[in-house]
Copies of this chain bind each other. A is one copy, B any other.
Amino acid sequence: MSKAIKGFTVWLTGLSGAGKTTLARLLEKELSKKAFQVEVLDGDEVRRHVSKGLGFSRKDREENIRRIGFLCQLLCRHGVVVIVAAISPYRNLREEIRAQSYGRLIEVYVKCPIEVLIAQDEKGLYERALAGELKLFTGVSDPYEPPMCPEVVLYTDKETPGESLYKLVERLKELGYID
């Protein structure tokens, strides 16, 4: 790395249905207005492109997250702001990514109690997971390891998307990433 890194990564982690993609898109809009180059990397979408063939075992999930991390590095070093929306359930992997981020990663814990998610269950995934139809489903049949020291926690069961966005943007200002 000879050049100074100008981009940064906003990494949204949390359970399925917690609101990661919604918030990623809202933040994308907000930062694009400020003339940043912004790229949203959605976990599901990345799987279709660079992680075709990978499944949901711990090893495959880790590899998928590593690849997202590689994309972040690639984009950040050219000044792009990368917003990741991915369950990314394992703490060690998120820490591995952070260690490679040149100190320019903001970990955002998109937190919503699983009972609320099960009750909402917009995509019907929790029902299927609880019925044993979906193996290795995070929070039900596969672990989710919450961040220890995330830069931001968004309580999406209590906050509106607008309120969460406001908190996130304020925190980015506080940390000096945006004006």
Closest residue of B by beta carbon distance from A68: B50
A74 surroundings in chain B (CB, below 8 A) = 39, 71, 74-75
A63 surroundings in chain B (CB, below 8 A) = 52-53
Interface size class of A (residues with CB under 8 A): 10 to 19
- Does A49 count as interface, using CB distance less than 8 angstroms? yes
- Does A168 count as interface, using CB distance less than 8 angstroms? no
Distance, CA A53 to CA B67, complexed state (A):
13
Q: Are B67 and A50 touching (Cβ within 8 A)? A: yes
Contact of A70 among B37, B39, B49, B80 (CB under 8 A): B49
Contact of A39 among B39, B53, B67, B78 (CB under 8 A): B78
A104 to chain B, nearest CB (A): 16
Which residues of A are at the interface with B, using a C-beta cutoff of 8 A? Answer: 37, 39, 49-53, 63, 66-67, 70-71, 74-75, 78-80
Q: Give 13 A-B pairs besides A37-B78, A50-B51, A78-B78 with Cβ atoms closer than 8 angstroms.
A: A37-B79, A39-B74, A39-B78, A49-B66, A49-B67, A50-B50, A53-B63, A71-B71, A71-B74, A74-B75, A75-B75, A78-B79, A78-B80
